[in-house]
């Protein structure tokens, strides 16, 4: 039974769903990195929010880990390249807390417009300072939206409902989408010059880091109010403090900080500055949504192989997964076969699907071929890290889909580009379930690729099979299955034998020495 650790505070629905789906679950929150390292080796899955940092160091101790599930959107607390290199799938829940976070941005905008936290403090201190708190209306004002994705779009919708004008800067926002959202597209400089309020909704990337830098803050309209419910690091905090102190910026509300938890900051205590402790996603509704979603996605993956919202591998629905499973087994065996027989100086490969296979999602089939192939280089390769490894080695990977049906109702063919030209192997599924090799380097041969095997290329001549049987028998090697194919009678023949024990180097040399043998190789599947 797969085992998952929930290491951050999460709605109890998550544990309930894991258990209902046959996944064992431990909820252990608040561990230090060293404490987490000590226990992570037991788990197949790790469900987190933002407190747990999934670093390279933690991953090195995660010997059984297959999936990290983030109950939320941002995955900046997960080292994705290190996870991919280790073959760990990283998933998030991209929509579950979007409305909640958009509402928090709107709430902070209102809090700034009417100075609500200060007014509350003063009133509860018995001051009744009616004349001190003069706010501004949002109606008719311009909201500058930096980032018009899931959350930005909802903020735009709510702001339009408040009769604001919305200008949006997002390099990926199309004209059509801007019209659909009812926003005006702008450059960043235009937005800075026009906005009465600015709200940020981008991820933190090299392009967005300090997008509100000292230089850009200086381009804003005097009296601007700024909200950040996205990620710390989008605003230069020191420059923001200067802008507030000088009065150029009329107010700023931050839910997120460069360093979190933000226990101290030069901004704290600055007039017209409001802060919340990364509460953007903190509503009952959002936490139930993301807990349910992350548990369902992780359980799907661990129990049936379905992949949803993964950031480092293609999606595979829970409905597709059972259909694709035997194809992935076939693809992995074919990849492994070409890897073991023709891995020298590979420059690229083509993965062709034909007949029934052509109706399926090809990406997982490609991933499985690459996993089988790349395992020749490292036994920690799987579908998650194989594409990256293939890329690192400069392999040109091509996917081809043929709708026609050939000799078989369904076929997967892998052709590798080698110095000696293209070499191809192909296989089918028997009964839509059992992977079977049908062709190896142009020779038809039907064989199961399973366990320890021996691959022999020889000249087709009488007496060879007897001599081979005797040689193996004398060495105590029992033959399980025997598959033979040949180009032409008396021409080149291929033998694939399954053997009960792996054939050692000395015996391989003996077989190689038999008359007519061109090549011998021990294979393992
Ligand atoms: N405060 C919280 O608790 C909380 C909760 C949820 C999400 N978030 C954060 O909010 C942010 C937005 O989330 P989302 O779900 O809307 O993400 P999203 O991916 O749907 O949208 C992000 C948008 O940013 C745009 N973008 C990318 N680079 C840009 C650039 N250089 N300039 C301008 N726009 C750019 C993208 O095109 C995209 O439209 C993320 O950082 C997420 O982690 C915070
Ligand atoms: O889990 C949280 O409380 C914050 C989540 C938020 O930052 C996100 O990116 O989804």
Judge contact between 477 and 465, C-beta under 8 A: no
Homologous superfamily of 3-95+285-304: NAD(P)-binding Rossmann-like Domain (3.40.50.720)
Read off the pLDDT of residues 129-161 as tens digits, 9 standing for 90 and up. Answer: 999 999 999 999 999 999 999 999 999 999 999
- Does residue 320 carry a pLDDT above 90? no
- Return the minimum-mean-pLDDT range out of 39-53, 108-122, 474-488: 474-488
Ligand 1 mean position, distance from CA 72 (Å): 12
Residue 346 pLDDT > 90: no
Give the pLDDT confidence score for residue 172 in this predicted structure.
85
Confidence (pTM) = 0.80
CA-CA-CA-CA torsion for 195, 200, 201, 202, nearest 10 degrees? 110
Measured distance CA(212)–CA(87) in Å, rounded:
36
pLDDT for 314 equals 82
Question: Quick one: pLDDT at residue 113?
Answer: 98
CA-based nearest residue to 443, from 385, 374, 496, 394: 496
Cis upstream peptide for 261 (omega within 30°): yes
Q: What is the DSSP string of 70-111?
A: ESSS--TTB-HHHHHHHT-EEE--SSTTHHHHHHHHHHHHHH
Q: Over the chain, what is the mean pLDDT?
A: 94
Alpha helices in 132-173 (DSSP H): 150-161
CB of residue 499 inside a 6 A radius of ligand 1: no
Task: Give tens-digit pLDDT for 473-514.
Answer: 999 999 999 999 998 888 899 999 999 988 999 999 999 999
The response to whether residue 231 sits with its C-beta less than 6 Å from ligand 1 reads yes
The torsion angles phi and psi of 199, rounded to 5 degrees, stand at -130, 140
Q: Give me the pLDDT at residue 230, please.
A: 97
Fold of 98-275: Rossmann fold (3.40.50)
- pLDDT computed for residue 376 by the predictor: 82
Q: Is 72 a residue whose pLDDT tops 80?
A: yes
Q: CA 23, CA 6: separation in Å to the nearest integer?
A: 12
Which residues is 401 bridged to in the sheet? 353
Residue 207 CA to ligand 1 center (angstroms) comes to: 12
Averaged over 168-185, what is the pLDDT?
93
Q: How far is CA 83 from CA 63, 231, 328, 376, in A?
A: 12, 22, 22, 20
Q: What residue spans define the domains of the chain?
A: 3-95+285-304, 98-275, 319-448, 450-525
What atom in ligand 2 is closest to the CA of residue 92? 10
- The answer to whether domain 98-275 and domain 319-448 are alike in fold is no
pLDDT value at position 408? 93
73 lines ligand 2 (CB under 6 A): yes
Residue nearest to atom 5 of ligand 2 (CA): 72
523 backbone dihedrals φ, ψ, rounded to 5°: -120, 155
CATH 3.30.43.10 fits 450-525, yes or no: no
Q: Residue 58: what pLDDT?
A: 98
Instruction: Give the CATH fold of the 319-448 domain.
Output: 60s Ribosomal Protein L30; Chain: A; (3.30.1330)
Which residue, among 327, 291, 295, 320, has the nearest Cα to 306 in the 3D structure?
320
3-class secondary structure, 310: strand
Average pLDDT over residues 287-316: 93
CA nearest ligand 1 atom 3, residue: 280
What residues are paired with 158 via a beta bridge?
none
Give the Cα separation of 437 and 449 in Å (integer): 7
Give the Cα separation of 123 and 117 in Å (integer): 10
For a substitution probing ligand 1, which of 78, 93, 151, 200 has the most ligand atoms within 8 Å of its CB?
A: 151
Q: What are phi and psi of 410, to 5 degrees?
A: -150, 140
Average pLDDT value for residue range 316-335: 90
Length of the chain, please? 525
Mean pLDDT of 42-46: 98
Taking only the tens place, the pLDDT of each residue in 379-406 is 778 888 898 889 888 899 999 999 877 8
pLDDT digits over 191-238, tens only? 999 999 999 999 998 899 999 999 999 999 999 999 999 999 999 999
Residue 345 has pLDDT above 80, yes or no: no
Pairing type for strands 165-169 and 142-146 reads parallel
Cα 95 to Cα 33, 286, 290, distances in angstroms: 29, 9, 8
Q: At what angle do helices 464-474 and 505-512 cross, to 10 degrees?
A: 160
pLDDT of residue 206: 86
């Amino acid at each position: 039974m797969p085992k998952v650790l929930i290491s951050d505070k999460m709605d109890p629905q998550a544990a309930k769903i894991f258990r209902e789906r046959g996944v064992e679950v431990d909820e252990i929150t608040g561990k230090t990195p060293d404490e987490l390292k000590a226990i992570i080796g037991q788990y197949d899955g790790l469900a987190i929010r933002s407190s747990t940092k999934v670093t390279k160091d933690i991953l090195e101790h995660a010997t059984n880990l297959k999936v990290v599930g983030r109950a939320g959107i941002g995955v900046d607390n997960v080292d994705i390249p290190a996870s991919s290199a280790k073959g760990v799938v990283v998933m998030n829940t991209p929509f579950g807390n979007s409305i909640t976070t958009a509402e928090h941005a709107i709430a902070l905008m209102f809090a700034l417009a009417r100075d609500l936290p200060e007014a509350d403090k003063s009133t509860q201190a018995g001051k009744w300072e009616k004349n001190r708190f003069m706010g501004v209306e949002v109606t008719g004002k311009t909201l500058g939206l930096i980032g018009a994705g899931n959350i930005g779009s909802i903020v735009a919708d709510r702001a339009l409902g408040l009769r604001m004008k919305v200008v949006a800067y997002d390099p990926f926002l199309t004209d059509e989408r801007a019209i659909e959202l009812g926003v005006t597209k702008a450059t960043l400089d235009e937005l800075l010059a026009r906005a009465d309020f600015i709200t940020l909704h981008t991820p933190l990337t090299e392009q967005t880091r300090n997008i509100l830098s000292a230089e850009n803050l200086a381009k804003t309209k005097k009296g601007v109010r700024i909200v950040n419910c996205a990620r710390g690091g989008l605003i230069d905090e020191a420059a923001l403090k200067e802008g507030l102190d000088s009065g150029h910026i009329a107010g700023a509300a931050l839910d997120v900080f460069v360093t979190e938890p933000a226990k101290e900051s030069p901004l704290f205590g600055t007039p017209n500055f409001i802060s919340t402790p990364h509460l953007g996603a903190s509503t009952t509704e959002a936490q139930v949504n993301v807990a349910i979603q992350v548990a369902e996605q992780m359980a799907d993956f661990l129990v049936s192989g379905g992949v949803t919202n993964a950031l480092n591998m293609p999606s595979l629905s829970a409905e597709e997964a059972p259909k694709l499973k035997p194809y992935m087994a076939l693809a992995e065996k074919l990849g492994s076969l070409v890897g073991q027989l023709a891995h020298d100086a590979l420059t690229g490969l083509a993965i062709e699907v034909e007949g029934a296979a052509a109706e399926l999602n090809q990406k997982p089939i490609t991933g499985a071929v690459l996993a089988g192939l790349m395992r020749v280089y490292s036994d920690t390769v799987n579908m998650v890290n194989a594409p990256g490894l293939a890329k690192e080695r400069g392999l040109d990977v091509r996917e081809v889909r043929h709708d026609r049906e050939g000799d078989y109702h369904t076929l997967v063919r892998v052709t590798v580009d080698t110095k000696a030209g293209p070499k191809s192997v192909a296989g089918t599924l028997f009964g839509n379930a059992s992977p079977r090799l049908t062709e190896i380097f142009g020779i038809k041969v039907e064989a199961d690729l399973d366990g320890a095997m021996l691959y022999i290329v020889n000249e087709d001549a009488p007496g060879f099979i007897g001599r081979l049987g005797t040689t193996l028998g004398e060495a105590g090697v029992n033959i399980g299955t025997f598959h033979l194919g040949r180009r032409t009678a008396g021409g080149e023949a291929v033998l694939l034998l399954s053997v009960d024990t792996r054939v050692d180097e000395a015996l391989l040399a003996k077989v190689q020495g038999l008359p007519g043998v061109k090549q011998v190789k021990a294979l393992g599947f």
